[in-house]
Amino acid sequence: MKLTVVGAGYVGLVTGACFAEMGNDVLCVDLDETKIARLKRGELPIHEPGLQDIVQRNVAAERLHFTSDLKEGVRFGTIQFIAVGTPPDEDGAADMQHVLEAARSIGRHMTDYKLVVDKSTVPVGTASAVHETLARELAARGVQIPFSVVSNPEFLKEGAAVEDFMRPDRIVVGADDERAVHLMQALYGPFQRSRDKLVIMDIRSAELTKYAANAMLATRISFMNEMALLAEKLGADIEQVRRGIGTDPRIGHHFLYAGCGYGGSCFPKDVKALLHSARGAGQPMLLLDAVERANERQKHVIVERVVQRFGEDLTGRRFALWGLAFKPDTDDMREAPSRVIIEALLARGATVSAFDPAAMTEARRLFARHDGVHFAAAPMDACEGADALIVVTEWKAFRAPDFDRLRQVMRQPLVFDGRNLFEPALMRALGFEHVSIGRRDAAQPGIGWQDAPQVATRLAA
């Protein structure tokens, strides 16, 4: 099939490259001429494991092409994927200008049937708006050309997007006409040879499914962070709690890790957009409001513990920070907890020496005007002379450091473990002061049954 993907960002590039890998002829369109020039040279604008090889292989095979010419893009593919950004407005609403502009361009230049696919994460009702936009453009031209609009939300995890696309657990398609359904079935056939993974539903339900999925995952994270803070108060260990509830098949093990909050391009934006849609519909979302508030609080927990240890004035203090990206295997720092932590430390007079395996270029751009942030060439270099190490992102490279050397290069052996990478008892045995989130060292006294009356009294108060 001949496909056009409008938008060569994270979703668009992965979508285009993976469809080309399955033998389709794909043209990716982006108005950013610098990005298109880089892609034509084989340079990727994002860090995503496995994507570089797929892009280079399919460019060489002449199945994957790039252009900044929208008219060329519209004329190219029968199926037109809209995969442009939908950043949040100040009120949390998804900014739809790029989606609707893509629809206008398709309407201006189409000369035969087009299946327009909303791949971007968009609010419920967007497909209707895209349909109306296309109809207006065709009417303005005085032509009648058939077209269909469907919703096909992406469910890609940053750091595992290629695997998610090539081996999906489900493919959601919202459509209301038979021709569109048949085309989507044919397009996704190669991705579901082992079993039927296509979930066909009405368009509005498909649009809501994407938001509901991300909101549910965000809820699990915030819930576990709430439980971790409670576990500390009660003398329990959140890691043992996680294992205990994760064995329940109704709950499972995924997204149950306590830490310093979620970030990235999806969860924060989509929670805000869903809350905005709910307010517009006159339907309060009490749980989701709490999820967002809990996450914002969680991003400050590590800083609060630093202040408890060193005081409000951190002038002259130097902190090593491992991890800048919001999660491993990506260079994405949008809404990353590291940004909140660094800015809070700088505001109190501290300096920060940071390292991340992938996000250093983005971090240098974001903190270019901050004299107090320095970037190290290696994890251990960041810890030279540091008053404490703060672990923010759970990269595999951070899981088993040389603790003897770490203790030697730091001013004092103190680790604020924002992702619970290290076992408290082991850290204590190695001579480290270890501050975690919801963990309990076996040597620390917990709250026993004999303390129950006092605990009950405190909780009742």
Tally helices (H) and strands (E) across the chain. 19, 14
For 163-182, give the DSSP string.
HHHHS-S-EEEE-SSHHHHH
Residue that is written with structure tokens 């409670």 in the block = 230
What is the helix (H) or strand (E) element at residue 64, kind and residue range? strand 64-67
In our burial notation (b when 16+ CB lie closer than 10 A, e otherwise), range 412-447 reads ebbbbbbbbbbbbeebeebebebbbbbbbbeeeeee
Give me the amino acid identity at 253.
Answer: H
H runs (alpha helix) in 235-313? 238-246, 267-280, 286-298, 301-310
Query: Counting Cβ atoms within 10 Å, is residue 356 exposed (0-12), middle (13-18) or buried (19+)?
Result: buried
Q: Are 170 and 197 in contact (CB under 8 A)?
A: yes
What letter would DSSP give residue 301? H
Please name which of 155, 169, 173 lies closest in space to residue 216, comparing C-alpha atoms: 155
* Alpha carbon separation from 116 to 84, 170, 192, 371, 403 (Å, rounded): 13, 20, 22, 47, 55
- Sheet containing 25-29, strands listed edge to edge, beginning at the edge strand earlier in sequence: 64-67, 25-29, 2-6, 79-82, 114-118, 147-151, 171-174, 198-201
Q: Say which of 18, 28, 260, 266 is annotated catalytic.
A: 266
Task: Rounding to the nearest 10 degrees, give the CA dihedral for residues 95, 161, 417, 411.
Answer: -100
- Residue 266 bears catalytic tag: yes
Residue at 270: amino acid letter: D
Closest CA to 393 of 360, 369, 417, 422: 417
Report the phi/psi class of residue 104: left, alpha or beta, with left for phi > 0 and alpha for psi in -120 to 50.
alpha
Rounded Cα–Cα distance for residues 36 and 414 (Å): 46
User: Within 13 Å of residue 22, how many CA atoms lie on the same side as its CB?
Assistant: 20
**Cβ(182)–Cβ(198) under 8 Å?**
no
Element (H, E) at 435: strand 433-435
Q: What amino acid positions are annotated as catalytic residues?
A: 266
